[in-house]
């Protein structure tokens, strides 16, 4: 974690902020009554795989207020990945250095373009309309279902791993998680364990939705539709201090939860909501 110095008086600083609709997010928030800065640093795993940085940023663009300025903090002493140099301008509002933190108030004052803010607002409204429908469906399913831990086995119908087009590397990539495609629908299989946070265990499923369905251009998170997806789990996803968060974010990206080894029952869980 980078230590910020010379933060202007009157700004509120939050490290590792927890947002109800972000599985991960900016490393630091700086805010005052006039606006909000979300500051990202390139983590070690993102040096090796810049897509991780871009998916984290995309989730923040979906979740945070549309006027939030997304800033990438870079260090001249470290090499910036070529992909970040090439594509970062499409995702972030700006690149800054540590010395620029003292200018935070003027960065906040220099607001985003109003047309861009309105465009993000409209997209967020559509996404969260879908989220509320899927979440309601998931909560009703959880309420009426006795989740059985022993469930989750390989499905003979599910043989083809789901793919998405990697826009950074310009090629199709197969999911490394248990995500399969069958008749233009996506099926996820995940056995949750007790020794890893469910939010972390489900992160590949959130990332798959972002990578396959969203694109960012000029700081706006575009999507054509939220695809039909079902996620077969052996237990209700939850975390200690915000039990509903894993399910809430799964719903954000169109995942309908199920606990079954009956393929027809699993398939019937996929929502009819496509747009």
Reported as a pLDDT band with limits 50, 70 and 90, residue 78 is: confident
Main-chain phi, psi angles of 214, to 5 degrees: -120, 150
State the first-to-last Cα distance of the chain, in angstroms, to the nearest integer: 39
Tokens of 65: 């207020």
Rounded to an integer, what is the distance from CA 232 to the centroid of its chain? 20
Q: Is residue 2's pLDDT more than 70?
A: no
Joined together, the tokens standing for residue 92 give: 């972030």
Question: Residues 160-176: pLDDT tens digits?
Answer: 999 999 988 899 999 99
What is the domain partition of the chain in residue ranges? 12-112, 116-268
Averaged confidence pLDDT in the chain: 92
pLDDT of 271 > 70? The answer is no
Contacts of 66 by beta carbon, 8 Å cutoff, 6+ apart: 112, 116, 117, 118, 120, 121, 124
Taking residues 225-233, report their average pLDDT.
91
pLDDT in tens, 79-137: 899 999 999 999 999 999 999 999 999 999 998 899 999 999 999 999 999 999 999 99
């Amino acid at each position: 974690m980078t230590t910020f110095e010379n933060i202007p008086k009157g700004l509120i600083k939050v490290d590792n902020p927890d947002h109800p609709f972000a599985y991960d997010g900016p490393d630091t928030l700086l805010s005052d009554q006039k606006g909000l800065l979300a500051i990202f640093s390139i983590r070690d795993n993102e040096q090796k795989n810049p897509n991780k940085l871009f998916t984290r940023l995309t989730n923040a663009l979906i979740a945070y207020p549309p006027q939030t300025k997304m800033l990438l903090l870079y260090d001249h002493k470290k090499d910036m990945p070529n992909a970040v140099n090439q594509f970062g301008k499409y995702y972030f509002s700006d690149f800054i250095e540590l010395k620029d933190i003292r200018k935070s108030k003027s960065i906040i004052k220099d607001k985003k373009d109003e047309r861009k803010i309105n465009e993000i607002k409209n997209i967020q409204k559509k996404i969260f309309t879908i989220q509320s429908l899927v979440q309601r469906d998931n909560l009703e399913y959880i309420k009426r279902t006795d989740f059985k831990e022993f469930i989750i086995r390989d499905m003979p119908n599910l043989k083809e791993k789901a793919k998405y087009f990697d826009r950074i590397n310009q090629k199709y990539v197969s999911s490394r998680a248990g995500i399969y495609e069958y008749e233009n629908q996506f099926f996820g299989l995940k056995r949750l364990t007790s020794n890893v946070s469910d939010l972390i265990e489900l992160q590949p499923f959130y990332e798959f939705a972002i990578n396959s369905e969203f694109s960012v251009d000029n700081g706006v998170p575009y999507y054509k539709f939220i695809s039909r997806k079902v996620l077969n789990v052996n237990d209700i996803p939850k975390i200690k201090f915000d039990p509903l968060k894993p399910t809430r974010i799964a719903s954000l990206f169109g995942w309908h939860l199920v606990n079954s080894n009956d393929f027809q029952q699993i398939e019937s869980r996929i929502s009819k909501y496509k747009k």
